[in-house]
Amino acid sequence: MPLFILVAIILVSSFLLLRLYKKNPQHENLPKGSLGYPLIGETFSFLQAQKKDQGPEWINDRVKKHGPVFKTSLMGAPTVVIVGQSGNKFILGSEEDVLIAKQPKTLSTIAGKYNIFELTGVRYQLIKGALSTFMKPISLKTNIKQIDELITSLFLKSTSKTDIIPTVNFMKHLTFNIASSVLFGIQNEILISELNKDFAIAFKAVWSLPLNILGMAYWHGMRARSRIIDRLIPVIRKKREDLREGRVNAESDILSSLIDVKMRNEDVINEEMIVDNFVTLMIASHDTSAILLSLMVWKMSKVPEIHQNIFEEQMEIQKEIKGREDQNLTWGDIQKMKYTWRVAQELMRIIPPVFGSFRKVVKDTSFDGFNIPKGWQVFWCAYNTHMDNDIFVNPKEFDPSRFETNGSKPIPPYAYIPFGGGQHSCIGNEFARVETLITIHKLVTMYKWSLVYPDEVITRQPMPYPSMGLPIKVTSRSVTTEID
């Protein structure tokens, strides 16, 4: 598109938007702040701050200037950012006639318009039921052996020809394989590999400007989504045939469950909803877990005391396993990994995998004395309550003990939100816990390691990752060996 035409479109659009803006009486008492440049808003500066892992500073600069409720424009839409516990409760706890989980255009088009985060009513209940069945402890218990064996196999395969594990890429590969095989029942390794490549491209487009222009991240993401769909449709048709012929049942995997729901509710569920929620759950189930696992390795490498404590806890469990006929981990073993999970919880407090997220205003509303017009976005941010002195004692200090059951200070609702909150909170938090704990158990009991780049820092891409991929040099460990 010629530059002068693009400029003309922006100017005309800005003029029309300004006229509409002035006509709406709800715009008379908006929060303070700036909508930035036409169409682009403040998206560039927000994404640049995220890339440098300075998202909290970006938010705090505006909070200091405008207060805990301020306006901006992000991802192509006017946005009200609200920080604090009461703000989290308002955004995450509001009814669907006030706020809905309408994501920015980039996320809703990559994930699909029927993704679970944006569904409401009967459709939401049916899809959530199909998905959450496989995320409950009763289902997870039956999958632990498969997850255990898959993780062990991936570690052994990765270290068979080299002593360097590129942690970030390995954890993404691991969590994607677990999601594909355990959650969705996809066993074809070539198909899993091709899907993994396209999901990596699609995910980069989620936090980008919604400009479908040749070469831009969004353009690449949309094409990756098309390839994902092309590969998925034959899988769906084969599973539908298997369901009808009785070769599988609805409890076999999530895809089978979604297809079964569609077959029983043809009037409200269509194939597009199956595709969209496959894409959505695949993004949600593997990338956030890969982040947490990478950060766990990074933290253990940086703080020997944490590594030692985790190692001792896992070795006690390993000793019990060695005395059993079946040497795989069990549900009971995982429940004993209390300290390891507290470290994970504290990591998610200080470095939330999801910085924040959006809701869409479906009718004119207000918060803290300010008007928020229909059609605008609201944005919640985890960091502000996670680092609030009134909620967490010495919040900058890394202290896993604050998550002990008998902790000295209980955590109030909507203050600790790594998995969101309200009715649209993450349904996969228990699956993430199991996946994380099994992986860390295998790593610390099978290997010693050291950082290739000891001074590696965290950056957001847009999720928080070690900036150089966190390569580690590993050596096999005997189960009787102690940490040096």
Beta partners for 378?
A: 80, 359
Distance CA 23, CA 467 (A): 47
Mean per-residue pLDDT over the chain, rounded: 87
Tell me what pLDDT residue 17 has. Answer: 55
How far apart (Å, rounded) are the C-alpha atoms in residues 328 and 141?
12
**What pLDDT score does 311 carry?**
97
Residue ranges per domain, the chain?
Answer: 31-476
CA-angle at 457, arms to 453 and 460, nearest 5° = 130
Q: What is the pLDDT of residues 235-285, one digit of tens each?
A: 999 999 999 998 888 888 889 999 999 999 988 989 999 999 999 888 877
Q: Give residue 215's pLDDT band: very low, low, confident or very high (50, 70, 90).
A: confident
Longest CA span, the chain? 75
Which segment of 103-107, 194-198, 416-420 scores lowest on mean pLDDT? 103-107
Residues 6+ away with beta carbon under 8 Å from 448: 474, 475, 477, 481, 483, 484
For the 31-476 domain, the top CATH level (class) is mainly alpha
pLDDT for 132 equals: 78
- Bridge partners of 165? 472
Q: HSE-up of 162 (CA within 13 Å, CB side)?
A: 7
Residue 219 scores a pLDDT above 50: yes
pTM (two decimals): 0.86
Confidence (pLDDT) at 479: 45
Residue 426 marked ligand-binding: yes
CB atoms within 10 A of CB 105: 14
Confidence at residue 325, expressed as pLDDT on a 0 to 100 scale:
82
Q: Please state, in angstroms and rounded to a whole number, the distance separating the CA atoms of residues 69 and 441.
A: 43
pLDDT score of 103: 67
Cβ contacts of 267 within 8 Å, gap of 6 or more: none
> Contact, 167 vs 451, CB < 8 A?
no
Highest averaged pLDDT of the listed ranges 119-128, 258-267, 304-313, 346-355: 304-313
Question: Which of 211, 229, 227 shows the shortest CA–CA distance to 219?
Answer: 211
The answer to whether residue 458 scores a pLDDT higher than 70 is: yes
Question: H helices within 325-477, ranges in order?
Answer: 331-335, 338-350, 382-386, 429-446
- Mean pLDDT, residues 77-102: 89
Helix axes 271-302, 217-245, angle to 10 degrees: 120
Read off the pLDDT band of 39 (50, 70, 90). Answer: confident
375, pLDDT greater than 70:
yes
pLDDT of residue 483: 43
Q: Residues 280, 287: contact at Cβ < 8 Å?
A: no
Position 250: which residue type? A
pLDDT tens by residue, 400-448: 999 987 756 788 999 999 988 877 677 788 899 999 999 999 999 999 9
Q: What is the mean pLDDT of residues 185-202?
A: 92
pLDDT at 95 over 90: no
Statement: residue 484 has pLDDT above 50? no
